[in-house]
Amino acid sequence: MTTGLIPGEQPSEPRPTGGLPHQRQEPAGHGALHVDNRSRSSVITARAAASFEPVGRSVASARSFVRDTLQGWGFADIVDDAVVLTSELVTNAVVHAGTSADVLCLRADDGVRIEVADHYPEREIPLQGTSVSMGNPDREGGRGLQLCAALAGRWGVEYTPTHKQVWFQLDLPERPVGTRAAGPALPTDLLPIADARVRVAVVQIDRTGAISAWNEDAEELFGYPAEQVTGKPLTDLAAWPHTPGTSTGIAEALQLSRWEGSYGIRGANGRVTPVYASHLRVRDTGGEPSTVCLLVRDHERAVLQTPLRMPSSDAGSGEGQSTDPFEVFIGSPAPDDLDGLLQRTVERARDMLDGDSAFLLLATDDETELEVRASTGLPSARQRFARVPVEAGPGRYGSARMPAVHDDLSVVPGAVPLLSGTGMRSVVTVPLKVEGRLTGSLGVAAEAPGRYSNEEALRLQFAADRIALAVESARLGELERLRRGSLSFLVEASDLLAGTLDRDQTLALMAQMTVPTLATWCAVYTIADQASEPYLSYVLHEDEELIDGIKSLLSKIAPPDPVPTPGARIWSAPAEAAHQAALRTSMRSLGLGEPLPRASSGIGPTLATASAVGGETVVLPLVARNRVIGMLTLGKPTDEHFRQEILELAEDLSRRAALALDNARLYSERTAISQALQRSLLPPELPQIDGVEVEVIYRAAGEGNEVGGDFYDLFPISDGAYGFAIGDVCGTGPNAAAVTGLARHALRLLAREGLSGPAVLERLNSAILDEGARSRFLTLLYGELRPQEDGSAELKVVCAGHPLPLRLRQDGTVEPAAEPQPLLGVMEDLELYEQTVTLDPGDVLLCVTDGVTERREGTRMLGDDGLSDVLTTCTGLTAGAVAARIMRAVERFASDAPSDDMAILAMRVPGLHTD
């Protein structure tokens, strides 16, 4: 056996051989055979041993074993040191080494020796004669040996091929026989000062808080006779409501079973007497409760005050040691982030009260709910961000604003909802308060019942009061960072939503902004009108393979109710439906239900979907213009919850998204109306004319416009005669389109009345002038077309202020086919005339609006000459090919989009041999 020693220490005693049972305690004398060779003269009088499995809860079990053993032996003075050392050494074994731990307690007449062995001997062996560097005391591991050096009288390490054992010995303090506990012997000048006679006021308070008994010392201290104060509330005499530096007031303290603290009593002479009080809650034989209060002057508090139970390592005040109560509890340096601070808090609270678990909840801004932010010993993934109400029920035990101790949760199920199903039986909870405002709640729980009393509640409240301000400061810092991030997120979201008026794209943006930033999955329901049911419009999950499964699941359950109330509300239907579907699928796969269909892919997708939507699901209404237009549903996977700040951010996003979605809806509706009206202004399909090819190309300027100020038409007038027109109303857009509709329909009606071309245009001119202020001048080329038996075509044309039509002959020459005349809509009396043009086989008549000839690139303009040059290259082409070549030439002439409407009408008389 190899032994590692700390320099200057005595060799360690050999470890008793033989296997250790799970737990045993031997009578005095049984250990004598094992101490013959020990280097000390004390005799082992009792032994207790236990083994612990390599699981986290074994640390708490080991602490309880050592504490119960030493208290049973009457060694209460060294219990705290022994528990601290055992906790560190067992943690090293079961957590860091990952092996079981054997704990052996040996009692002697002068102290206690405790041995902790693990099954991981491959550790570094300390070298003799070298100093041992303990490192940072606040790091996660490695504090066991450092604490042994600081607290134990003697200690050492032993190695064998199968074990590593650390032992330490705690010596009993010197004290007179018969005393169970005693304070240190102090010089006379350090003893507390008291009056010649120490007066202890005994005041009894009934269940209503009123004084029912008042002794002579109380009368002497405060000047009130008993009959004057009997029946009055004790709080009426209080000069300040609570102990300075704590959050427990007198009214609250009177409800506790045991309480100590200081407050002020205003005497009969009006002066305030600071007192130290010890409260004990009792009940009489009839079961009526009351509180007995013992009060002394504050400077005489040593008469009543109970010393705080603190580990020796924390109670020291050596040179340079911090005495800040916050650092005593949290450790130094304190974590600089909120999560780290909260996690350190619950771990220290659990260790301080020897608990199996601990938890810390932070209050929402309105102090109506508490949100789980840190826990240890509990399934943290399930509990994190879960919310519980501050006021869970009637009475003080139902409010998180008061300290509470539950001896056995199995007797009162649901008293602490957070611990339901965790196996915890006893729990103590205390509030965190800052300036009288509830900011959180700290709790410690144990698996055994009856573990905690009001003494532990006082210790935990003392710690909570010390950390409350630091926790609130860290929370506000985190909240400020979250709000800055939220502001940036909302600004970016607003820009993205404002950048589109397409409904489907808006739905996609809503989902993509929430997943995975705010939620794991989301679904958007839309409502067309008040009489329509919500419709599932979009589903998104951060894992694309799960989208179809979630969409299928949501389509089978009723959508959430379209409630306009702002804020997020819980929707449990998806999780319940997913759970039931997964259960049915699993049962069928085991042959316990209906057989699976052959096409089924197994239970994988169903179970994956159930896990994806098994967490918390919330619904936020999409309200725009005082109407619910849909719902935004956000979800988490199994056992996860939303934090309050995320829900508030989601609510802000839903308001912006609702307005963007409604704007997209309105835009789509108005676009559909506009397009329907514009299509009504366009002529129907062009008629087929025997012996003549006709092609039209039309382009309206402006996004979303189908009709502008330019227009065209080709319609039958009578047998063998057809009317054609191409015109340009001054301006573009809807106002010009209105005159377009008037002109096109008037031409058809007038031409079919048998009027000549000039008569048709003169009557149209009068109709335009009758529009008054809404009238606009109009350039118009109107003609009548009659195919001839010899294969030619006769045209009668009137050109009222419009670009002249161009005739392309078979030899490639281009010439105007009409003469210019006055435009319409300007003068009342017009004298127009028509010209006759004959198109021979192979000839082309090209009619355009000024949007073609006035196409510009900088200072250059296409013009009539440019159009003629392009037309000369179209010899032998069909009417469709001619129109297409003209349009390509116009588009290529300039790089910018056209700013004016354009219309091209090409008519060609085919020759005997066409290309």
pLDDT in tens, 819-848: 999 999 888 888 899 999 999 999 999 999
Is it true that the peptide bond before 333 is cis, omega within 30 degrees of 0?
yes
* Residue 752 to residue 849: CA distance in whole angstroms: 25
pLDDT at 796 over 90: yes
Q: Which of 769, 763, 766 is nearest to 747 (CA)?
A: 763
Structure tokens at 494: 């607003």
Distance of CA 227 to the CA centre of its chain: 61
More confident of the two residues 720 and 736:
720
**To 10 degrees, the CA torsion angle through 591, 597, 600, 606?**
-60
pLDDT of residue 827: 87
Distance of CA 81 to the CA centre of its chain: 44
Question: Could you give the percent of the chain with pLDDT greater than 70?
Answer: 80
Q: In this structure, are residues 124 and 113 in contact, taking their beta carbons and an 8 Å threshold?
A: no
pLDDT of residue 649: 86
pLDDT of residue 114: 93
* Residue 643 to residue 636: CA distance in whole angstroms: 11
Going by pLDDT thresholds of 50, 70 and 90, the confidence category of residue 787 is very high
pLDDT of residue 434: 86
Under 8 Å CB-to-CB from 139, ≥6 apart: which residues?
none
More confident of the two residues 648 and 247:
648
More confident of the two residues 516 and 186:
516
pLDDT at 13 over 60: no
* Residue 149 to residue 904: CA distance in whole angstroms: 101
Under 8 Å CB-to-CB from 859, ≥6 apart: which residues?
none
- For 189-193, 558-562, 652-656, which range has the lowest pLDDT when averaged over its residues? 189-193
* Residue 568 to residue 574: CA distance in whole angstroms: 16
Strands, E assignment, 149-248 = 154-159, 164-171, 201-206, 211-214, 238-240
**Scanning the structure block, which residue is given the tokens 């294969």?**
791
pLDDT of residue 838: 93
- Over residues 454-505, the pLDDT tens digits come to 888 888 888 888 888 888 888 888 878 877 877 777 888 788 888 888 888 8
pLDDT of residue 394: 52
**At residue 381, what is the residue type?**
A
Q: In this structure, are residues 794 and 836 in contact, taking their beta carbons and an 8 Å threshold?
A: yes
* Residue 374 to residue 643: CA distance in whole angstroms: 13
- Over residues 267-280, the pLDDT tens digits come to 999 888 888 888 88
- Over residues 409-454, the pLDDT tens digits come to 888 877 887 888 888 889 999 999 888 888 899 999 998 888 888 8
pLDDT of residue 835: 93
More confident of the two residues 36 and 62:
62
Length of the chain: 915
- Over residues 712-723, the pLDDT tens digits come to 899 999 888 999
* Residue 259 to residue 728: CA distance in whole angstroms: 96
- Over residues 800-816, the pLDDT tens digits come to 999 999 999 989 999 99
pLDDT at 509 over 60: yes
Work out the average pLDDT over 123-142: 43
* Residue 616 to residue 358: CA distance in whole angstroms: 23
pLDDT of residue 327: 61
pLDDT of residue 705: 57
More confident of the two residues 201 and 128:
201
Residue 408 has a CB neighbour count (10 Å cut-off) of: 14
* Residue 619 to residue 565: CA distance in whole angstroms: 11
760-767: long-range contacts at Cβ-Cβ below 8 A with a sequence spacing of 24 or more?
Answer: 761/798, 761/800, 761/824, 761/830, 761/832, 762/830, 762/832, 764/824, 765/824, 765/825, 765/827, 765/828, 765/830, 766/828, 767/742
Strands, E assignment, 651-777 = 693-699, 710-718, 721-729
Going by pLDDT thresholds of 50, 70 and 90, the confidence category of residue 599 is very low
pLDDT of residue 213: 94
- For 14-23, 587-596, 733-742, 776-785, which range has the lowest pLDDT when averaged over its residues? 14-23
Question: Could you give the percent of the chain with pLDDT greater than 90?
Answer: 19
- Highest mean pLDDT of the ranges 179-193, 370-384, 609-623, 882-896: 882-896
Going by pLDDT thresholds of 50, 70 and 90, the confidence category of residue 326 is low
* Residue 46 to residue 31: CA distance in whole angstroms: 7
More confident of the two residues 195 and 55:
55
* Residue 116 to residue 66: CA distance in whole angstroms: 11
Work out the average pLDDT over 323-328: 57
- Highest mean pLDDT of the ranges 152-161, 337-346, 688-697: 688-697
Rounded mean pLDDT of the chain?
78
pLDDT at 648 over 60: yes
pLDDT at 26 over 80: no
pLDDT at 183 over 70: no
pLDDT of residue 878: 93
